[in-house]
Amino acid sequence: MPVTVIVGGQFGGEGKGKVAYFLAQETSASVAIRVGGTNSGHTVIGPSSSPVILRQLPTPAILPDIMCVLGAGSYINPDILFDEISRTGLSHDRLIIDPNAMIISDKEQQEEENSSLRKDIGSTLSGTGAAVRTRIARESTVILAKNEKRLQQFVRPAVPFLRDKLSAGERIIIEGTQGFGLSLLHSSYYPFVTSRDTTAASFVSEAGLSPLDVDDVVLVLRAFPIRVGGNSGPLPYEITWETVTAEAQSQRPILEYTSVTGTERRVARFDDELVRRAIMLNRPTHIVCNHLDYIDINSMSSPKIRLFIEDIESHIGKKIDYLGFGPASLVDRQKAFDEVRIR
């Protein structure tokens, strides 16, 4: 059962790409799967120390020996995909696209551009939602990967390949997208949600694997949850970036922009109730909390951070296993807290 599923516990932007990259190395994974469409960007800091934002490929694509898979549940924009292949230096023999993955057409992108989705729910207007709708309606205009000439060098059935890897005992990472609070099925904030389910169970299905293959579900959180800017829906305990900056004692303004649309994100305090629901639906074996530098910019071993972690643990009823600081750092909770005792 060597499959790790990475899932967001809030509204996206939790740092799932960083976690996927970290765990792919920690577990010596041989395969990374990216699910969903191009409506979310994952950022990873590689060996060059420069940020790489990926909307289609899994972040472990920047590692030298990982096979990358886009399963039947993927929604692909070929232009974005080829740009990312070029930027990551991914060789063509390291990418498999399932024949039943769907292509996001110009028609579907234009359909969203001409809609009121940005104004109504803060959509990224990537065409992903329109592609999902077209697929469900079984329209004659649907284009699958097996019918897209530009992708033929990558197209082959993903499931037999994945099954062979699992039979050999090799670790597979499924890099989920967005967050539990955006689930089409399970969020309490409908219609301010995305176009698909965003739970671990759904990601496993989109990848073409069985729930029985999974032995590790990693729930990724952030100290201050975010939503995209504009009319993107309820965000309990919303605050300002100025408040975050002041409380972190940062000399520079702390401010985030979405990786897809470049708009300023909204930010809020940690919401225990949302995370408890995410835990109930996903049953994580490990939990990561990122952006702890927003609690105290000065030290990852700050007693202030330790108190924050212990407080949210008492409210969500689960232990936090990994602590994230900044765009690249991820450390074992116990090691970080041991440093506090030493000092």
Note the pLDDT of residue 340: 46
Residue 114 CB contacts under 8 Å (≥ 6 apart), including other chains: none
Burial of residue 304, with CB atoms counted within 10 A of its CB: 0-12 exposed, 13-18 middle, 19 or more buried: middle
Burial of residue 112, with CB atoms counted within 10 A of its CB: 0-12 exposed, 13-18 middle, 19 or more buried: buried
pLDDT bin (cut points 50, 70, 90) of residue 120 is low
Q: Do 76 and 94 contact (CB within 8 A), yes or no?
A: no
pLDDT bin (cut points 50, 70, 90) of residue 341 is very low
Note the pLDDT of residue 328: 78
pTM of the model: 0.93
Helical pair 106-113 and 128-136, crossing angle rounded to 10 deg: 120
Note the pLDDT of residue 180: 98
3-342 CATH: 3.40.440.10
Closest CA to 272 of 225, 304, 217, 305: 225
**Distance of alpha carbon 128 from alpha carbon 108, whole angstroms:** 8
- Could you read off the pLDDT of 161-204 as tens digits, one per residue? 999 999 999 999 999 999 999 999 999 999 999 999 999 999 99
Q: Cβ atoms within 10 A of the Cβ of 164, count?
A: 10
- Could you read off the pLDDT of 231-287 as tens digits, one per residue? 889 999 999 999 999 999 999 999 998 877 778 999 999 999 999 999 999 999 999
Element (H, E) at 266: strand 266-268
pLDDT bin (cut points 50, 70, 90) of residue 47 is confident
Note the pLDDT of residue 342: 36
By three-state DSSP, how is residue 98 classified? Answer: coil
- Could you read off the pLDDT of 49-108 as tens digits, one per residue? 888 999 999 999 999 999 999 999 999 999 999 999 999 999 999 999 999 999 998 888
Name the residue ranges covered by the structural domains of the chain.
Answer: 3-342
- Could you read off the pLDDT of 283-327 as tens digits, one per residue? 999 999 999 999 999 877 789 999 999 999 999 999 999 999 988
- Could you read off the pLDDT of 121-154 as tens digits, one per residue? 566 677 888 888 899 999 999 999 999 999 999 9
